[in-house]
Structure 1
């Protein structure tokens, strides 16, 4: 599954190649027209269905990015000769809604619009055990999120996690007057919500663990994320959804090597970047590398909420510490509104008429949509 750590791994290869040069040098690897297939996704044995993203690496001399690989034909094949075809739902994104069978062995076959063919090894579709708990522990610098899980049948042993987190945020000031259609008008039922918003993010690191050396298949309070108490995330309410994936030993080694390559680069004593062994192969040209690793599993997930009143007496920033109110009047009010400021109301709640002095503040202090979304998440409590 292609993540930002994998991007950092590819960038690390570039840094290793050019970072120690005394004189400017452009090695052939930077300017070579290499374009490798990137396979991002896994075969999901749950009711959510499977989503696979295909893209291509670009020349290292360009701004680092990936270009979608559209109009490909993707199909999943079982050892029992069952074949299911994916549907392209967006450029480079392919989905399959047909359920897959736990315990069955599957492989992925890809044929690009350019006629190249790629084939993965067969992988078993593993059942991921349920997450026992997602807990948190206060530290001096924030909250440590931890996960506990076990497999009573001892069939998992290798685990990976990622997460999606969301927190509530508020504007520094609510408003009675808004700037709409080049005019200042009183807020009404058509005015958008700009005081209460939510901001979401997702994991950017690789998190794996193994119980292979333990007598029992148990993962106890494995650290997932440290949420800093020096950010607004914990100011009102914070939520995290942890997702758990069962891996094979080979998949675990792939992800663990990728983790080491992306997180421990920086000195001569750290692991040096190297080509990761993918289980997806180029059939048309066996020498062509493929980026990514195919796994097959169900997904277990658990969500928790953390309220401000549950935390120690930390001085958590709201994100609005720099907000101030200015009094603007006359013809300057529209110029300010067009230049990054937002109206709040009139002085001492006096009735507004054109040219009245207005209380104004920098727009992110009034409109929370500058920092997040005003659409309440369906799971929010």
Structure 2
């Protein structure tokens, strides 16, 4: 395990860094085990911005150590000060909402609890270019997998943008396949009854953020135009598109330095580059120590304009009835415990909350769902209660 340490350090850096640009830093595991990591991106969105501070960590630890009790602020060219308070360990949130503006510059200042101070050079906001159309199409990827592609388009007539990064937030409807409006409850030591459910457990919503680094650039083209950039590919058998799906695509316009940093991180994150003899021996930062110019500082301060667009689609909008719906998130089997079962009786199963009621096992004129089973058919909670997978709170933006 210890022999793999240099490679793991690269992986650690990839997971905890956010950008690069000025001073090359040798990735030496002995030097970087206690280096500060500063993740700071502000945008032209009016919101409470977030800055993350941590320390690189040894193989014996599962995650980086948060840098606590630091003083964090951003000062613009007009000497406006934006202070950040520590919300949770290592996570600093601006005390007020603000948005980066064109024509202004922003400089980061961090002072740790130990008195070490770090800063960046003043940075301007990148060109503000709105994301264009977001297209949805049935695609077969390079591995021959059928699915849905989500594509972003953009155009800057001034030609000043050139470097783009994309993130997405996806939300999808979840419908519990074996939901019933009744719950089974124990009414006496020997008796089970049914009662109406009092909360929504049939229809829920799940969500997820993008992972990895998605970038493109137009510097080699005559026009500053992004055409059909694949941002998300969803295989046809992924349950998140079974019913209704929505994705919010965010487009960040980057500086060349920011683009280069993210590109380096992406290259380092590939297993081939991590294990290759040609792996890079440095990673860069535009943040430096005010007291010790030789100190290794990891991370990047980025000031990027961002725009976004949301789209929705239903599975049947794209696929005919000849295409089977994706399978559910988990396998759903039926259980019908007997009242006197020695392993788990019906009453014990209900008391333990291990199952949800689905239906009567024996209905006149129909064969039993579970032959030789008890009176009630049960399923695991995920199959009868969608809140075990998602939330029953309808998102504010949701449109059916």
C-alpha deviation, 1:101, in angstroms: 2.7
C-alpha deviation, 1:80, in angstroms: 4.3
User: Which stretches in structure 1 are left out of the alignment for 5+ residues?
Assistant: 1-6, 15-27, 351-355
TM-score of the superposed pair, with normalisation by structure 1: 0.83
Which segment is superposed worse, 163-172 or 315-324?
315-324
- Is the counterpart of residue 346 in structure 1 residue 360 in structure 2? yes
Give the 3-state SS of the residue equivalent to 2:264 in structure 1. Answer: helix
C-alpha deviation, 1:62, in angstroms: 2.0
C-alpha deviation, 1:178, in angstroms: 2.4
What is the aligned partner in structure 2 of residue 188 from structure 1?
196
Give the 3-state SS of the residue equivalent to 1:258 in structure 2. Answer: helix
What is the aligned partner in structure 2 of residue 208 from structure 1?
215
What is the aligned partner in structure 2 of residue 133 from structure 1?
133
Q: Distance in 2 between the 1:164 and 1:320 partners?
A: 19
TM-score of the superposed pair, with normalisation by structure 2: 0.80
What is the aligned partner in structure 2 of residue 72 from structure 1?
70
RMSD after superposition? 2.9
What is the aligned partner in structure 2 of residue 90 from structure 1?
88
Residue of structure 2 aligned with 1:371, choices 389, 392, 396: 389
Q: Distance in 1 between the 2:296 and 2:290 partners?
A: 11
- Is the counterpart of residue 232 in structure 1 residue 232 in structure 2? no
Would you say the 8 A contact 1:9–1:273 is kept in 2? no
Deviations 1:244-273 (A, max 9, x none): 111111111111111111136358668515
C-alpha deviation, 1:132, in angstroms: 0.8
Q: Distance in 1 between the 2:149 and 2:275 partners?
A: 31
Which segment is superposed worse, 336-345 or 223-232?
336-345
Q: Distance in 1 between the 2:358 and 2:278 partners?
A: 54
Would you say the 8 A contact 1:12–1:262 is kept in 2? no
Give the 3-state SS of the residue equivalent to 2:11 in structure 1. Answer: helix
Change beyond 3 A, Cα 1:120–1:267: closer
Change beyond 3 A, Cα 1:292–1:13: closer
C-alpha deviation, 1:306, in angstroms: 1.5
- Is the counterpart of residue 286 in structure 1 residue 293 in structure 2? yes
Which segment is superposed worse, 294-303 or 89-98?
89-98
**Count of residue pairs the alignment pairs up:** 354
- Is the counterpart of residue 327 in structure 1 residue 336 in structure 2? yes
Q: Distance in 1 between the 2:193 and 2:40 partners?
A: 49
User: Which stretches in structure 2 are left out of the alignment for 5+ residues?
Assistant: 1-6, 15-27, 141-145, 365-373
Would you say the 8 A contact 1:260–1:271 is kept in 2? no
Change beyond 3 A, Cα 1:321–1:267: closer
Deviations 1:72-110 (A, max 9, x none): 111112344443322333332222323433221211000
What is the aligned partner in structure 2 of residue 18 from structure 1?
none
Pairing 1:1-381 to 2, within 5 Å after superposition: 10-11=10-11, 29=29, 34-63=33-62, 65-96=63-94, 97-140=97-140, 141-178=146-183, 186-188=194-196, 191-263=198-270, 265=272, 272-313=279-320, 314-319=323-328, 322-330=331-339, 332-337=345-350, 338=352, 340-348=354-362, 357-381=375-399
